[in-house]
């Protein structure tokens, strides 16, 4: 069986407070994006995992897909499978590609072997794999709170707008990005800003990572500035980076302007 795990962008990201467990309380809107990996799982005599496309740092048992298979296998009898991942979504990009792959492994194993796991229970398994894994079992706009795993539907749509994703060859470790941020309550909630409409988002819909990340990686700020020079409605960094996205009213082709970077554009 073949599925196509999508990625996401963050529409704003407020880092509100440090938690006793060492994580942070955040507020963000996860928005699905139709850039996908390709995942195939079929029953096999013995377990195997293979991967093509963009190369990953995490291999073997460190890969989130393998960890998802092992996690379910602790509680359910799951026969061996051959799992193949063709990687199109770049890693370390703030797009959640690895989390999406893992979430789709959970969903696919449940379907293939008719495990009868409820969606609520799958969400619990997903949250154990990563803070944004659970979002990809919804795959519709969600307001994320807590570590990002407390999800509620939010009424926001970018249907009909055009999205451009640009990622330079920069990898930003999430832990390092958090070290550069001082948590604080936001002046406005993300849900309030989103409801005001995209033409009011600039300067109001904020990603708290941007200040320190842009200071350390000025190339990312230049990408965002270039988007605004090209007439973007709204531009921001996704997650802790290093992807910067722009939302346009009309189709644009900026591939030449961002030559040498990972570049993707499409209709939302």
- Cα–Cα dist 266/268, whole Å: 6
Q: Which of 166, 198, 203, 199 is nearest to 187 (CA)?
A: 203
In angstroms and rounded to an integer, the radius of gyration of the C-alpha atoms of the chain is: 18
- Cα–Cα dist 123/224, whole Å: 34
- Cα–Cα dist 152/245, whole Å: 23
Of how many residues is the chain composed?
A: 268
- Cα–Cα dist 2/64, whole Å: 17
Coil/strand/helix, residue 144? strand
Give burial (CB, 10 Å; 0-12/13-18/19+) of 260: exposed
Backbone angles phi, psi at 165, to 5 degrees: -110, 135
The residues near 56 (Cβ < 8 Å, ≥ 6 apart) are 63, 87, 91, 98
Q: Catalytic amino acids? A: 8, 132
Q: What is the DSSP string of 27-89?
A: EEEEEEEEEE-EEEEEE-SS-EEEEEES--S--GGGSHHHHHHHHHHTTS----EEEEEEE-S
């Amino acid at each position: 069986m073949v599925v196509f795990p999508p990625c996401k962008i963050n529409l704003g990201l407020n880092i509100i407070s440090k938690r006793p467990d060492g994580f942070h309380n955040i507020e963000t809107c996860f928005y699905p994006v139709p850039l996908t990996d390709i995942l195939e799982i079929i029953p096999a005599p013995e377990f195997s995992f293979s991967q093509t496309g963009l190369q990953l740092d995490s291999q073997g048992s460190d890969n989130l897909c393998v960890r998802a298979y092992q996690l379910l296998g602790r509680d359910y009898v799951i026969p061996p499978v051959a799992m193949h991942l063709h990687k199109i979504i770049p890693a370390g990009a703030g797009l959640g590609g690895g989390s999406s792959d893992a979430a789709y492994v959970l969903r696919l194993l449940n379907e293939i072997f008719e495990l009868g796991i409820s969606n609520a229970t799958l969400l619990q398994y997903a949250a154990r794999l990563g803070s944004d894994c659970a979002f990809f079992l919804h795959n519709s706009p969600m307001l994320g709170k807590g570590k990002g795993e407390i999800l509620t539907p939010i009424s926001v749509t970018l249907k009909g707008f055009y999205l451009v994703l640009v990622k330079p060859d920069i990898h930003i470790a999430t832990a390092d990005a958090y070290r550069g941020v001082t948590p604080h309550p936001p002046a406005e909630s993300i849900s309030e800003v989103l409801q005001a409409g995209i033409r009011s988002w600039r300067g109001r819909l904020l990603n708290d990572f941007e200040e320190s990340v842009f200071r350390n990686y000025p190339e990312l700020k230049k990408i965002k500035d270039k988007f605004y020079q090209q007439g973007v409605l709204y531009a921001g960094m996704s997650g802790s980076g290093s992807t910067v996205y722009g939302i346009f009213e009309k189709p644009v082709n900026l591939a030449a302007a961002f030559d040498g970077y990972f570049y993707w554009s499409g209709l939302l």
